[in-house]
């Protein structure tokens, strides 16, 4: 087992959150999940603004691309332009496979862009692979 880390999931779909948390449990991964259902709440969490005072700095952010009000690419842009946050790896998750969306995220320095799997087995595979890389291989600054 790799290291256990704080994972920030930013997604406006409560069903997606349940699938991710369930998949982590099914895989026996003990990562601590934090959730924000909007881009603004994610930025408040990251900057530890009310009501997120004292929250831990996440080791990894899973960020939905398609969200109302502030889309994931704008959140990514703000995270990667902030010297205090830019070293946090951000994995963009989307049902979109449009090249313009993928390119937009990498232009804003996404660490990865992955398609949201359509089923539970796909989510298990995705989280297994993300865990293998981010908690077993990747070294991140702290």
The 10s digit of each residue's pLDDT in 71-90 is 999 999 999 999 999 999 99
> What's the CA angle centered on 88, arms 86 and 93, to 5 degrees?
105
The 10s digit of each residue's pLDDT in 85-117 is 999 999 999 988 899 999 999 999 999 999 988
At 75, is the secondary structure helix, strand, or coil? helix
* pLDDT value of residue 3: 73
To the question of pTM greater than 0.95 for the whole model, the response is: no
Q: Which residues is 62 bridged to in the sheet?
A: 9, 91
Give which of 33, 34, 13, 36 is closest to 23, Cα–Cα: 33
* pLDDT value of residue 142: 53
């Amino acid at each position: 087992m790799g290291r256990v880390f704080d994972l920030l999931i930013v997604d406006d779909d409560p069903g997606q959150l349940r699938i991710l948390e369930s998949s982590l449990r099914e895989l026996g991964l003990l990562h601590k999940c934090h959730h924000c259902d909007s881009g603004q709440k994610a930025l408040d969490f990251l900057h530890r603004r009310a009501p997120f005072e004292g929250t831990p700095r996440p080791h990894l952010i899973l960020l939905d691309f398609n969200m109302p009000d502030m889309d994931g690419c704008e959140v990514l842009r703000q995270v990667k332009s902030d010297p205090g946050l830019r070293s946090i790896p951000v994995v963009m998750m989307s049902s979109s496979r449009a090249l313009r969306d993928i390119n937009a995220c990498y232009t804003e320095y996404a660490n990865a862009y992955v398609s949201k799997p359509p089923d539970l087995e796909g989510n298990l595979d995705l989280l297994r692979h993300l865990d293998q890389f981010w908690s077993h291989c990747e070294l991140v600054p702290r």
